[in-house]
Chain A
Amino acid sequence: SVNPMAYEAQFFGFTPQTCMLRVYIAFQDYLFEMMLVVESVILKKLDGFPNAKISAFQIRKSTEKFLLFMKEHFDKLFGKMEEVLLQLVLNIPKNVLLPEDKVHEQYPYTKEQFQALQDEIDQLQQRYKAEASAGQALLAEIEEQKTVQAELEKILQWFDGLENICRAHGTSNFKESFAFLTQNSKKLQGVLKDVEKKSK
């Protein structure tokens, strides 16, 4: 089955398979290079034997045979090496968390829990705004109360003023003064009647 080795790719920045492939290609390129070098050395040595019955074409054929032989062995050995490297070196054990994922070790949040937190934050913000608005409303009411209080105090002052005027004119109690005035008027009425009678 295909194993993408994604966690390893997250750590290394490349997939282990790509790494092994590049190592393989490097080895292979080197092998081809070496074969060419070996072939050129043999061809050079062959120049020193003009009577040799071996042609350059045969050398080339042998080189190709040798290359095939080496490649087969190399492929077999590389296969084993790749297996070991992928399992033991370019591998992150199942129990290991990379540093960037450490946060998920102890506090795994579900989508619902995250949404619940978001909702709670939104609610708190709304409540804060509502409380701030209520505070401002209370301050506005205090201003209204001050206005009303000033008006009511004006009324009280008016009554005080009235009382002061009355007192200044010798009348502190309207009821008493009025009763006194009425009594005196009645007395005067009595006196006038008396005088009228005596005059007649």
Chain B
Amino acid sequence: ELIVETTTKRKQWPKKILMHAIQTMKGEQEMLKLYQPIVTPEEIRS
């Protein structure tokens, strides 16, 4: 049972991990696209 359980995980877990990794990377990419740092111009006194 333990051998079968372990080898099933060897076979299937990488696919699931890949799925989550892709989701994470796509999220990171989208966040970078949305990234808008706010830099306010200094007040210039007339």
Q: Which residues from chain A sit less than 8 Å from chain B, CB to CB? A: 4-7, 9-10, 13-15, 18, 98, 100, 125, 128-129, 132-133, 136-137, 139-141, 143-144, 147-148, 151
Contacts and interface: CB of A to CB of B under 8 A. Distances in A.
Contacts of B39: 133, 136-137, 139-140
Contact of A144 (B32, B36, B38, B44): B44
> Would you call the interface of chain A mostly helix, strand, loop, or mixed?
helix
Contacts of B4: 9, 13-15, 18
Nearest to A141: B41
Interface of B: 3-4, 6-8, 10-11, 14-15, 28, 32, 35-42, 44, 46
A143 B41 contact: yes
A133 B37 contact: yes
A6 B10 CA distance: 10
A14 B7 CA distance: 9
Given A125-B32, A129-B37, 20 more contacts: A6-B3, A6-B10, A9-B4, A10-B10, A13-B4, A13-B8, A14-B4, A15-B3, A15-B4, A100-B15, A129-B32, A133-B39, A136-B38, A136-B39, A140-B39, A140-B40, A143-B41, A144-B44, A148-B44, A151-B46
